[in-house]
Chains A and B, each alone.
Chain A
Amino acid sequence: MSTFAQTMMRVIRRNGQADVSVVTTAQPEQEREQIEGPAVEIAPNDPLVAFLQSAGGPVEVDKLDLDSPAVTALREAGVALVVPLVSQGELIGTLNLGPRLSDQQYSTDDRKLLDSLAAQAAPALQVAELVRKQAAEAASRERIEQELRVAQLIQQNFLPRQLPDLPGWQVAAYYKPAREVGGDFYDFIELDDGRVAVVIGDVTDKGVPAAMVMAAARSVLRSAASQTSSPGEVLQRANDLLCPDIPERMFVTCLYAVVDPASGRIRFANAGHNLPFARSSHGAVELRATGMPLGLLPGMDYEEVEAVLAPGEALLLYSDGITEAHDTEREMFGTSRLGENVVGGDRDLIDGVLTSLQRFTGSGWEQEDDITLVTLRRTGGAAPTGSSDELHVSFCVDSTPGNEREAMTRVAEAVAGLGLAELRLERLKTAVSEAAMNAIEHGNQGRSELPIEIDVDAAHGVLCVRISDTGLAGPVASAEVPDLEAKLDGLQKPRGWGLFLIEQMVDELRTYDADGRHTVELVVNLRGETDGDS
């Protein structure tokens, strides 16, 4: 039996290499001198496979009448007897024996012994094969997980740990890697002159290679930023530095913007990255600048563009992980859907965008790529002390009844930094609400497709809020003092307080018609007046 045991061991080990393989072993009589013949491969589509599967016991090769390359190979290898190893109807392997040394045929007892051996060996072999496969798969999974962890570690290590402190701005960032980490990154670089560079980028490819290139791109950008404050030049230098080292077929898209917190000026250049959205009074606008991705070709130029964000306006930088997210019908989230979210008037852009994405993809969505969002919102008051005197904010609301409240709230936000006393602010709010309601209900006849425009300007101690409509109400009579007695006695309708109230709430009320628009201008003196005046 020791010979058989040894033979079995060999079968298991050899069989690990192919689905069906053939092993010749030594003859049972020759315990000490085992002769191992050459292995014979049986192709999966060879007729011998089907034959052995249903043979039900050892098969003499000489008696086989099959048009089979495997039979020919077995004969050439000197195999006399093939014992099929079948488990659960499947041919796991074969035990091949040469002719008996004694020149006799294999006896019935021999065959019985071989048959019972095969019956036990086959399932054992099958189990061993399964165990081996699972172990290999587990090892490979572990290797992939390990690689993912490394990629995540590299990437997270190079993302900013905190947001920059920009006076008069709200900065927010959101970053969520996909399971198989993509190459997204963002960065804030504080420049010597008080400005801050905001960087967002995306490396092609995923996993460790992308994370390594991301780390390189980040340092190259930082080093270029220390040499010049021009966004176009930073990208040009970063490109030239990256080109020699970046692996073939990899590149980096990147948007680089320098923000001046005091003036709201944003200078930016773009290396093939998604265009950022600016949210202004005119809706969501894509800020366009052209340039090639980094790392493709040296010596590239990058267009430099400037935009100004007024108080209340915001900028959204993002990566394609959001616009290229798919819903269950394989439709993409897309740029225009993102733009709709930007214009939505939602104060927290990131929350709004993520909520909309969640609604779009539905639950159970597996994130396909990294998602990165960076927002910069210029708040109403540039200076926390409220001493700032200059302001320009414009926005629109559509003519839906009730939107006068939206107009009122947004004007109040815009002037928050002007240091208006509380009662004066309340009066301004009432005036804005009344004027906006007139514009919505009369000037635009409540037609929701017609916007009312609101401009808030402050300079030299005077605040002007202009509210304009399409003038459908015709010329508006000047404010009369309502006759309360007549109204109480039922001689007049109880209404008609709007214009009178507005006039009482502000220092000056002007109205004018130009270019097909009717405008009400509310003027408030910012200096030398306190709550006591009415």
Chain B
Amino acid sequence: MATAELQARVRDEDGSVAIVLTGDIDGRAEAALERAYGEVAASGAVLLDFSGVSYINSTGIALIVGLLARARKNGQTLSARGLSQHYRQIFEITRLSDFMTIVDDEEDKA
């Protein structure tokens, strides 16, 4: 499997702002996530789009937990979209899904 460093782009979507993620969420993703979060820190609702993500490891989970902690502190709501079925289960197992809304995807990806 080819590895791909994470790219995070911020995009305005009606009423909220989305961080569109492409690549792997592992230890190398920290800088990209930080940068993107910096751009949306003032928004009330932030949507993380995982459609372009095919690999998340425990370090990546920790980075998402870190984002979630800061969002809560800032009174923001965080939601997730485009998770594959596998990572959706991981969000459930880690209970991340208790603290962020998992938006149903049009298609189920394994």
Binding site for B on A (CB under 8 A): 401-402, 404-405, 408-409, 412, 422-423, 426-427, 430, 433-434, 437, 482, 484, 487-490, 493-498, 500-501, 504, 534
Contact = CB atoms under 8 A, between A and B. Distances in A.
A404 B28 CA distance: 14
A487 to B, nearest CB: 5
A495 B59 contact: yes
B57 A426 contact: no
6 contacts: A423-B85, A426-B110, A484-B99, A487-B69, A494-B69, A495-B59
Contacts of B84: 426
Interface string B52-96: 000101110111011011001000000000001110011011111
Nearest to B57: A433
B70 to A, nearest CB: 9
**Residue of A430, A488, A504 contacting most chain B CB atoms (<10 Å):** A488
Interface residues on B, range: 20 to 34
A104 B68 CA distance: 128
Contacts of B27: 401
Contacts of B95: 484
B57 A434 contact: yes
B89 A488 contact: no
B97 to A, nearest CB: 10
A488 B68 contact: yes
B96 A484 contact: yes
Interface of B: 1, 3, 27, 55, 57-59, 61-63, 65-66, 68-69, 72, 84-86, 89-90, 92-96, 98-99, 110
Nearest to B1: A409
Contacts of A497: 58, 61-62, 94
Nearest to A408: B1
- 8 closest A-B pairs by CB: A426-B86, A497-B58, A494-B65, A494-B62, A498-B58, A495-B62, A494-B66, A422-B110
Contacts of A434: 57-58
A437 B57 contact: yes
Nearest to A437: B57
A86 B79 CA distance: 101
Nearest to B59: A495
Interface centre among A402, A405, A422, A534 (most CB of B within 10 A): A405
A163 to B, nearest CB: 28
Nearest to A401: B27
A409 B2 CA distance: 9
Given A423-B110, A434-B58, A495-B59, A501 B69 contact: no
A534 B3 CA distance: 26
Contacts of B65: 484, 487-488, 494
Contacts of B110: 422-423, 426
Given A434-B57, A494-B63, A423 B3 contact: no
A504 B92 CA distance: 11
A430 B86 contact: yes
Given A408-B1, A437-B57, A494-B65, A501 B94 contact: yes
B98 to A, nearest CB: 7
A421 to B, nearest CB: 9
A423 B71 CA distance: 31
B100 to A, nearest CB: 11
A488 B94 CA distance: 12
Nearest to A426: B86
Given A405-B3, A501-B94, A488 B72 contact: yes
B16 to A, nearest CB: 21
Contact of B93 (A408, A422, A495, A534): A534
Contacts of A495: 58-59, 62
Given A404-B57, A484-B94, 19 more contacts: A401-B27, A402-B3, A405-B55, A422-B110, A423-B85, A423-B89, A426-B110, A434-B58, A484-B98, A484-B99, A487-B69, A489-B69, A495-B58, A495-B59, A497-B61, A501-B61, A501-B94, A504-B93, A534-B93
